[in-house]
Chain A
């Protein structure tokens, strides 16, 4: 829990919500399919560790001044979720430094649904309690979250029975009901039907007035243009560009050689 250990006696930089300096983060994964006691012994015998290091972020630097609504774009595996997690204090940096001034949404949207055998309500409750809310606060929020997500009939069913649309409606709804200073939404806008998208977009507009800063990861260039006033583009862990959403998206599309096709724009 780096947020505890990481807190140093240092002075907040005025006017800055998040400052990321030379940030590098690697995951370490095991690739053993059937981990057995026998394998462990043979590995020990050979003095190997079946660990592979994946560099998810490489030397990323940027500032997020107060009042920034930052869109983060990039293809799958670019490191967008990793960046969000590191700012939320979940992933410790391997190198570099992150300064955060403000209360982060204590529960990133995808924290919900961590256990598919539990009901939506149980997942919300557990996520909220882990994030430090009281039972009372969690219960209140669970109601609001369920109502906003419009899944009242399913909230007590195991989450494995949810459709992907219901899942992301719930995820979005959780993220926006935690009233943080710094709102973080990771790809939770994409699914859901047209009615919910409109509702979600309205909610986002409303939240823009309450949050000090917002981070939005989305594959929908239209939502980024609409909701954000700044954007960064990550590619394979590297920061490719930072700037006005429009410029960044244009460069990104140019890079992908797709151009601003109808699909990317219409898909909120």
Chain B
């Protein structure tokens, strides 16, 4: 017999495995958020370890793996560079290319977080069926994976930054809080799509279309200042409906030009990040008790 006292001693640190549980049919809704968050935080190591293991299994840690992670977005940047140059009648230089890479690489981070997140719950299979833990760890771990895939593109960007002769200013540091907001935003997306994928297994096949449209609607291939006069009315609309307009726009502006974005951009970006995170994770948490019976 494990003595009751030894069990009780562990209890405070492990609320999740308390010695008395009653399971009843749950009515839709949320579990106690505070204890959920505590458990989530306590198991953050899992999200890190799962993402590390996945990166290792995908050979991301090898030289060629790293090279591919850089080469793939770089080639895409090259393709878009040519495309935009042809469409706009040429004349775009390294300055544009640097901005393009900054925006595109980070856009692919968001897209990767979303796609990995969508597959995260379904991919958890047996672990979900045989272990009780806060499921939100799965999409969050997917975001970490996407982040570590994005990281090697940072030095590449700086190569083009130098090449284009872009300025080095302390104002560039404003890109960091924007990056942070982008990560928070992506966590919400990953959770949302991770949960949706359980109900509609075709969610992930619909994502590429969404991503394509989203890319075109974001200031990555074009800049707000590029917009022809007859399109000027579109910018304010995109600014409100497209989260990445402010998030990516602010990030690239700070990183490439060393300009601190307008206060309004900060506010909109923050609102989107918080909204996405809150809605995505709450939706996920409200559904997650049902995941095991639907896998």
Contacts and interface: CB of A to CB of B under 8 A. Distances in A.
A144 interface: no
B23 A92 contact: yes
B20 A113 contact: no
Interface stretch (B62-70, B128-136, B160-168, B260-268): B128-136
Interface string B1-28: 1100001000000101111111111100
A189 interface: no
Nearest to A129: B46
A132 B42 contact: yes
A237 to B, nearest CB: 14
Interface in A177-225: 179, 181, 210-212
Nearest to B133: A130
Given A35-B202, A134-B45, A91 B292 contact: yes
A109 B17 CA distance: 17
B65 to A, nearest CB: 14
A129 B133 CA distance: 9
Interface stretch (A22-30, A70-78, A227-235, A255-263): A22-30
Given A1-B289, A5-B31, A100-B23, A85 B294 contact: no
B45 A111 contact: no
Contacts of B26: 2, 5-6, 92
Q: By DSSP majority rule, is chain A's interface helix, strand, loop, or mixed? A: mixed
A226 interface: no
Interface stretch (B32-40, B71-79, B211-219): B32-40
B57 A130 contact: no
Given A110-B130, A114-B126, A3 B19 contact: no
8 contacts: A5-B30, A7-B22, A99-B21, A100-B20, A102-B19, A126-B127, A129-B49, A130-B131
B124 interface: yes
A134 B14 CA distance: 11
B24 A1 contact: no
Contact of A89 (B32, B43, B132, B290): B132
Contacts of B87: none
Interface string B165-184: 00000000000000000000
A25 B22 CA distance: 15
A183 to B, nearest CB: 11
B288 A131 contact: no
A99 to B, nearest CB: 5
A97 interface: yes
Contacts of A211: 1-2
A12 B50 CA distance: 36
B154 interface: no
Interface stretch (A117-125, A147-155, A238-246): A117-125
**Nearest 8 CB-CB pairings of A with B:** A5-B31, A111-B130, A114-B126, A129-B46, A114-B127, A108-B130, A35-B201, A35-B202
Contact of B43 (A30, A114, A132): A132
Interface in B279-293: 288-290, 292-293
B293 A6 contact: no
B1, B30, B125, B128: which has the most chain A beta carbons within 10 Å?
Answer: B1
B129 A110 contact: yes
Contact of B206 (A30, A40, A108): A40
A103 B202 contact: no
Contacts of B201: 30, 32, 35
Contacts of A35: 200-202, 205
B1, B7, B26, B292: which has the most chain A beta carbons within 10 Å?
Answer: B292
B53 interface: yes
Given A100-B22, A110-B126, 20 more contacts: A1-B31, A4-B32, A6-B26, A7-B20, A12-B20, A25-B293, A27-B294, A35-B201, A94-B25, A95-B25, A96-B24, A98-B24, A110-B130, A114-B127, A125-B53, A127-B131, A130-B46, A211-B1, A211-B2, A212-B2
Contacts of A104: 17
A23 B205 CA distance: 37
B269 interface: no
Given A36-B205, A132-B133, A3 B294 contact: no
A29 B294 contact: yes
Given A106-B17, A111-B126, A130-B43, A8 B24 contact: yes
Contacts of A163: none
A99 B36 CA distance: 20
